[in-house]
Amino acid sequence: MASQNRDPAAASVAAARKGAEPSGGAARGPVGKRLQQELMTLMMSGDKGISAFPESDNLFKWVGTIHGAAGTVYEDLRYKLSLEFPSGYPYNAPTVKFLTPCYHPNVDTQGNICLDILKDKWSALYDVRTILLSIQSLLG
């Protein structure tokens, strides 16, 4: 029960410091370090309408939130997404899906997103912030 009341931001910072990876061990490799850096960058960015944090202590599985852009049919809507990072990240794109139903031509009924930067146009230069901003832009 106590875990339901904990602050997700504080838990995410703790997870980033620990560098958790899927097996629960320390992420001493470049992928874990990259994800820790991206978490801190995203938290410090001040971008409105986007956020993401690791799910519990797993630095390779995040839950993101996107707010619909003002002046669009998605205004005042909040969408949750799952982001799963492969061991080959950032050279391989993460799997990103809507958890909240989203009615958009580029989103199927299972939440899969048709966005070029998540498929054939992926670049190791992209980060979580870029992904979330691109999806937010897709909606508006």
**Looking at domain 2-139, which CATH architecture does it have?**
Roll (3.10)
For residue 4, the model assigns a pLDDT of 46
Query: Does 114 qualify as catalytic in the annotation?
Result: yes
Compute the distance between CA of residue 24 and CA of residue 16 in angstroms, rounded to an integer.
Answer: 12
3 state DSSP class of 135 = helix
For residue 5, the model assigns a pLDDT of 47
Compute the distance between CA of residue 62 and CA of residue 60 in angstroms, rounded to an integer.
Answer: 7
Ordered by start, the domain boundaries in the chain are 2-139
Single out the residue of 68, 128, 73 nearest to residue 100, CA to CA: 68
Global pTM reads 0.80
- Catalytic residue selected from 114, 119, 124, 137: 114
For residue 24, the model assigns a pLDDT of 45
- pLDDT digit string (tens) for 47-85? 999 999 999 889 999 999 999 999 999 999 999 999 999
- pLDDT tens, residue order, the chain (140 aa): 444 445 545 544 444 444 444 444 445 689 999 999 999 999 999 899 999 999 988 999 999 999 999 999 999 999 999 999 999 999 999 999 999 999 999 999 999 999 999 999 999 999 999 999 999 999 98
Single out the residue of 119, 92, 97 nearest to residue 110, CA to CA: 97
